[in-house]
């Protein structure tokens, strides 16, 4: 077992028995569930919309190279610049080069999980460049020195009392400040930063091939401010964010909104086509789009599991997952947690270190049921488990145990040769740790079914 897997098990045990953590998570996910039910009810034919989205993403992934080149050509035609990055290190280096060429010292960022993959804030701070999160949830976890807890709601693990205490300690606000008061304080602190910033960095919810545009979805307006005031705008997007055309947004935007927050449509939806044009009054003077691979082509090469790249980052599978609801987001120790993170992380960051995530599932299928693009998530988890075995990434005791079990199951006399006490002893020795210290292994019956059947048959004679 890898050190990362051991850490996951240890931290899972702590979080699963932390009553306050579970209370906050249950409350926040409960509010989400109630809102989403209402939002989904307003889509006339939800199943058709999901099937349509699935087919669209399938077409993109089967022809990804074509759509990426089309996007690049159309974006560059309007004065934008495209940078291809193979991994996080390369992406960070390119971002730093842009910032240093401009002599910039301050950066404002809107919410972006792709930049979390890069550990971009830490990288820029290391090079004496101030990087400030402007999304309220991201700003809160940045103040705490934490990573986002959830794909959509970064501070889901915190109560309003936790946030009030944080702001009281940092900014002198009232210890019992209301959420509205805290929001106003954050707005006061952040608004002046937009004007002062040299560079604005965003992600991209979608890349639109036929227009060479990026689409941003948000509820607070910080992304629009991030791209409006600074002279340079850098957008960082995984290559899987591609959709064929602008008309596809009429399906993807409502699906993302309803599954992400329960809204019919998020408050701000923005399409950006490049830097400011001569006849335009606002916008950045320079705009870059960094197309990030960072392990995505490794997943694309897996024909059975490339469905994982269809994900539109709505977070619905996290909220439905019984494992996530108990152990929370930070325990996964990955950028993308929950079921979809367990599917894609082993391919993007290495099966050897992250295969354990594919076992952190009850395989109940709730994640698959709620997915807006119909990714067969729980099947993907099983395929990851298969690949881990094929790559011989299993411990020797596990291999011996299952080899012995398989041989016994294929030969009836082997099952009946040992007395029940011996079987229970072996069963406990081989599988007790895997079952967990809080659960007790079931006792094997005194007599096997085969033995009982023979005895009953003799009695009938």
- pLDDT tens sequence across 215-234: 999 999 999 999 999 999 99
- Give the phi and the psi of residue 131 in degrees, each rounded to 5: -120, 120
Q: For residues 374 and 55, what is the distance between their CA atoms, to the nearest angstrom? A: 9
Identify the burial level of 106 via C-beta atoms within 10 angstroms of its C-beta, where 0-12 means exposed, 13-18 middle and 19 or more buried: middle
- Confidence class of residue 311 from pLDDT cuts 50, 70 and 90? very high
User: Residues of the chain with pLDDT > 70: what percent?
Assistant: 98
User: Whole-prediction pTM value?
Assistant: 0.91
- Give the phi and the psi of residue 384 in degrees, each rounded to 5: -65, -40
For residue 353, pLDDT beyond 80: yes
Q: For residues 256 and 263, what is the distance between their CA atoms, to the nearest angstrom? A: 9
Per the CB < 8 A criterion, the answer to whether 286 and 80 are in contact is no
Helices (H), 328-376: 338-349, 351-354, 366-370
Rounded average pLDDT over 13-24: 94
Nearest to 141 by CA among 165, 166, 108, 109: 166
Residue 396 confidence (pLDDT): 82
- pLDDT per residue as tens digits for the range 362-386: 999 999 999 999 999 999 999 999 9
For residue 459, pLDDT beyond 70: no
Rounded average pLDDT over 412-429: 70
Please give the domain boundaries of the chain with CATH numbers for all domains.
Answer: 42-294 (3.40.50.10420), 397-460 (no CATH)
Residue 450 confidence (pLDDT): 79
Q: What is the sign of the dihedral through the CA atoms of 29, 32, 38 and 44?
A: negative
The answer for residues whose C-beta is within 8 angstroms of residue 60's C-beta and 6 or more apart is 67, 242, 243, 244
Rounded average pLDDT over 341-352: 94
- pLDDT per residue as tens digits for the range 145-156: 999 999 999 999
Residue 12 confidence (pLDDT): 94
For residue 328, pLDDT beyond 80: yes
Nearest to 313 by CA among 250, 209, 241: 241
Euclidean distance between the first and final Cα of the chain, in Å? 54
Looking at every residue in the chain, the average pLDDT score rounds to 92
Residue 35 confidence (pLDDT): 95
- Confidence class of residue 417 from pLDDT cuts 50, 70 and 90? low
- Confidence class of residue 460 from pLDDT cuts 50, 70 and 90? low
Higher pLDDT, 25 or 442: 25
- Confidence class of residue 461 from pLDDT cuts 50, 70 and 90? low
User: Residues of the chain with pLDDT > 90: what percent?
Assistant: 81
Residue 439 confidence (pLDDT): 78
Per the CB < 8 A criterion, the answer to whether 308 and 321 are in contact is no
- Confidence class of residue 419 from pLDDT cuts 50, 70 and 90? low
- pLDDT per residue as tens digits for the range 177-210: 999 999 999 999 998 899 899 999 999 999 999 9
- Two structure tokens written together for 294: 């960072």
- pLDDT per residue as tens digits for the range 72-130: 999 999 999 999 999 999 999 999 999 999 999 999 999 999 999 999 999 999 999 99
For residue 420, pLDDT beyond 90: no
Residue 457 confidence (pLDDT): 87
- Range of lowest pLDDT (51-65, 162-176, 441-455): 441-455
């Amino acid at each position: 077992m890898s050190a990362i897997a051991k850490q996951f098990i240890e931290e899972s045990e702590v979080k699963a028995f932390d009553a306050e953590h579970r209370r906050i998570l249950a409350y926040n996910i409960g509010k989400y569930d109630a809102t989403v039910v209402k939002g989904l009810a307003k889509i006339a034919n939800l199943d058709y919309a999901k099937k349509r989205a699935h087919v669209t993403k399938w077409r993109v992934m089967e022809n990804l190279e074509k759509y990426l080149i089309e996007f690049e050509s159309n974006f560059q035609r309007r004065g934008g610049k495209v940078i291809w990055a193979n991994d996080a290190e390369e992406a960070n280096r390119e971002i730093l080069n842009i910032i240093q060429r401009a002599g910039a010292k301050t950066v404002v960022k809107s919410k972006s999980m792709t930049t979390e993959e890069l550990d971009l804030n830490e990288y820029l701070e290391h090079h004496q460049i101030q990087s400030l999160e402007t999304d309220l949830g991201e700003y809160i976890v940045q103040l705490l020195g934490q990573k986002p807890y959830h794909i959509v709601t970064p501070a889901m693990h915190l109560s309003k009392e936790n946030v009030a205490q944080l702001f009281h300690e940092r900014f002198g606000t009232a210890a019992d400040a209301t959420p509205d008061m805290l929001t106003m304080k954050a707005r006061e602190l952040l608004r002046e930063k937009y004007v002062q910033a040299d560079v604005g960095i965003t992600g991209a919810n979608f890349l639109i091939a036929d227009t060479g545009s990026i689409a941003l979805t948000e509820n607070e307006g910080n992304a629009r401010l991030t791209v409006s005031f600074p002279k340079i705008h850098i957008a960082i997007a995984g290559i899987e964010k591609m959709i064929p055309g602008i008309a596809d947004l009429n399906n993807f935007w409502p699906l993302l909104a309803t599954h992400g927050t329960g809204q019919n449509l998020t408050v701000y939806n923005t399409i950006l086509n490049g830097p400011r044009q001569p006849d335009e009054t606002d916008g950045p003077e320079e705009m870059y789009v960094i197309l990030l691979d960072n392990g995505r082509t490794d997943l694309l090469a897996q024909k059975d599991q490339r469905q994982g790249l269809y994900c539109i980052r709505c977070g619905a599978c996290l909220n439905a997952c019984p494992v996530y609801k108990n152990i929370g987001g930070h325990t996964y120790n990955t950028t993308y947690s929950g079921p979809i993170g367990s599917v894609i992380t082993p391919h993007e960051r290495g099966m050897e270190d992250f295969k354990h995530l594919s076992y952190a599932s009850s395989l109940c299928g709730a994640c698959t049921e709620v997915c807006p693009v119909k990714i067969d998530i729980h099947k993907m988890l099983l395929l990851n488990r298969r690949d881990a075995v094929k790559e011989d990434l299993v411990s020797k005791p596990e291999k011996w145990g299952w080899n012995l079990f398989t041989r016994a199951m294929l030969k009836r006399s082997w099952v009946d040769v040992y007395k029940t006490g011996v079987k229970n002893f072996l069963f406990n020795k081989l599988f007790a740790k895997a079952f967990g210290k809080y659960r007790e292994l079931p006792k094997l019956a005194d007599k096997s079914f085969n033995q009982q059947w023979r005895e009953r048959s003799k009695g009938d004679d």
